[in-house]
Structure 1
């Protein structure tokens, strides 16, 4: 069971044309292309949101670390 040969593909194409009609096939292809494009756009937006959330979390960690270091320095100065 490998890839279908050329005659088999032509038979399949003929059946598709008979089922959907020659005018309907470009509309179906356009709809599929639009759907794929929207899916990719949604995936890209989701990745961007995840990246933004990750960067925000990293900034918060850096701020907390900086605050902790400053607090430790202030405590050291008080003790000295």
Structure 2
């Protein structure tokens, strides 16, 4: 939870100080870079929290495998 608060505060401050028309290199270049970095960190935080819930419950490739090698396809060689 502390990391989310840190990310949100950093995102807010970077957004607040962003001014693309400014002569200051901090407001013109570093603050927009900070917005991008904090947005990526926020996305990574959401992905890491979503992974802990367990996913969809299917185990294996496509999730539609019946185990019978003769089902589906052209059926060639199956009697």
Indicate the TM-score class for this superposition, using the shorter chain for normalisation: 0.3 to 0.5
Which of the pair has the greater relative contact order for Cα pairs under 8 Å at 6+ separation?
2
TM-score for the superposition, normalised by structure 2: 0.37
* Length-normalised TM-score, structure 1: 0.37
* Structure showing the higher helix proportion among its residues: 1
Greater radius of gyration (CA): 1
